[in-house]
């Protein structure tokens, strides 16, 4: 884990809503006007719902040999996924 007193630039980047999971309340956003592609996951009824959605995406990326990075912020309430 790594803690900074100031937010990473990506945490202030604009994002566009691309999906909202009705069942668990997780919202998925796409980063806009940012130098790299990325998705932002947030919300959900609890952290387990959020982590389940992110892990589903990560498993799909792994199965398709697509490397990625994760940034977890706001004590796990926002997760940034950067496919390469």
- Sorted by where each begins, the domain ranges of the chain are 9-83
Tens digits of per-residue pLDDT, 18-68? 999 888 999 999 999 999 999 999 998 899 999 999 999 999 999 999 999
Looking at residue 7, its pLDDT comes to 87
Q: What confidence tier does 3 reach under pLDDT thresholds 50, 70, 90? A: confident
**DSSP letters spanning 12-33:** GS-EEEEEE-TTT-EEEEEE-S
Q: What confidence tier does 5 reach under pLDDT thresholds 50, 70, 90? A: confident
pTM of model > 0.85: yes
């Amino acid at each position: 884990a790594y803690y900074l007193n100031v937010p990473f630039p990506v945490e202030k980047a604009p994002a566009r809503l691309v999906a909202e999971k009705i069942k668990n309340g997780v919202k998925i956003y796409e980063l806009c006007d940012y130098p790299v592609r990325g998705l932002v996951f947030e919300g959900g009824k609890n952290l387990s719902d959020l982590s389940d959605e992110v892990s589903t995406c990560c498993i799909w990326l792994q199965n398709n040999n697509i490397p990625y990075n994760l940034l977890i912020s706001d004590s796990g309430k926002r997760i940034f996924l950067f496919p390469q």
